[in-house]
Amino acid sequence: MLTATMPTIQTAANGRKFPKFDLYRLLHTVFQPTFGCRICILIDLPDLAEAKGMAFLKNPARAIQGRAYEYFYKGLHGGVMDELALKGGEMFAYLQTGGSNLDLPDECVDMEGKRLSLEKDIYPNYDIILAITTFSATAPLTAFAKQYGFRGATLHGLNEIILNSGLAVDYEEVSRDAEKLRLAMTRADSVEIDFGLESGEVLTARLELGGQEAQKSHGLCRGSEPDVANLPAGEVYFVPKSAEGQFPMKYEDGTLGRLIVTGGRIIRSELIAGNQATIDAHNARLLDDPMTGVLGELGFGTQVLPVSGSDIQDEKVLGTCHLATGRDDHLGGHITPDQFKRRQNATHDDILFAPHKTPNFDIKQVRMTRGHQREVLIEHFQPAKYLLDALAAD
């Protein structure tokens, strides 16, 4: 019989000890589901034919989807649904979108290959939906949750490190710490970030926040209100009102660019080191569809976690921060897919600043202004005293 007690302790790469992944504990803590809640799992596949007979399990390239089956589907049917008095437990697949937070297709299939509709057959008929996918579905699933009244969680990029650290933590504690840091930063007027390059040059970006209430991704998705949690959680974030300055970006091929920001939008990229063609391609995209350069988020990690190699966890690490371009309607912003020249451009793409991700530049300092208050938040990828004191407070 499954229980909610703390299972055997393991040691993570950074020395912190984490309990082993426990699906019962995760679902019970995050959702506190009531009797008879219907739950299902969504995965994404590049070819829906792989869903029939769960053929994707034989493909080593579908590791994320394989973990959805091994840890979540089998876990639900291995006793967790009985323990939590849940119903359903089916798995469905939709066609991969090819980008972060792009709108989801309506067509999906069950594991026998039967064609279904997400909007007719899935969203209205389940109370809890878990999206364990290659590409993030947080923005579109949040919109559908509000429309159809379900709760859910997105767990894109799921790997073994995340399972045994970011998804194994106590989300009551994660929520408490996120709230402490949220209160420390909420109603900030602005945040300035200094980036130190290897050449000695310092780039500074200033984000205007307008005294808004900070928001938190804290992992708890309870009650009757429709909502979608992004797991692993542990983040304080803002939707910038505007931004000016410059910041570095490390592209996927290792090219380092200097991004010029004005009026809250990246207007061009300049080569620092690497491939000029990469810079030219980004500039062509910015020129073709300027909305792709709009800064839609400023986020700060709140947890002590090991590096997983997947941004879904690594952006939640205390001492890191990230910016994001593109749609922000799921964060309470006003940038929606219809504002882009092409809907396939309507992504929400995080730009993470972390030692393992951007070793060729440093976060020299992050400063917050709130009225007459001036506080240093981060120095050299470490939380400053102000944030540590906030975490230590009762």
Place of tokens 């004005």: 262
In a domain, 14, yes or no: no
Q: What is the pLDDT of residue 15?
A: 67
116 and 49 together in one domain = yes
Angstrom distance (rounded) from CA 289 to CA 159: 33
176 and 153 together in one domain = no
Q: What is the pLDDT of residue 35?
A: 96
Q: What is the pLDDT of residue 1?
A: 28
Q: What is the pLDDT of residue 333?
A: 87
Angstrom distance (rounded) from CA 249 to CA 261: 12
The domain boundary residue, chosen from 158, 180, 207:
158
Nearest 5°: the CA angle 226, 155, 81 is 70
242 and 357 together in one domain = yes
In a domain, 338, yes or no: yes
131 and 263 together in one domain = no
pTM: 0.93
88 and 227 together in one domain = no
In DSSP notation, 74-109 reads HHIIIIIHHHHT-EEEEEEEEE--SSTTPPPPSEEE
38 and 112 together in one domain = yes
Q: What is the pLDDT of residue 3?
A: 30
225 and 360 together in one domain = yes
**Cβ–Cβ < 8 Å for 215, 150:** no
Q: Which residue stretches of the chain have pLDDT < 70?
A: 1-15
384 and 235 together in one domain = yes
What is the number of structural domains in the chain?
Answer: 2
Q: Which structural domain, as residue segments, surrounds residue 213?
A: 171-392
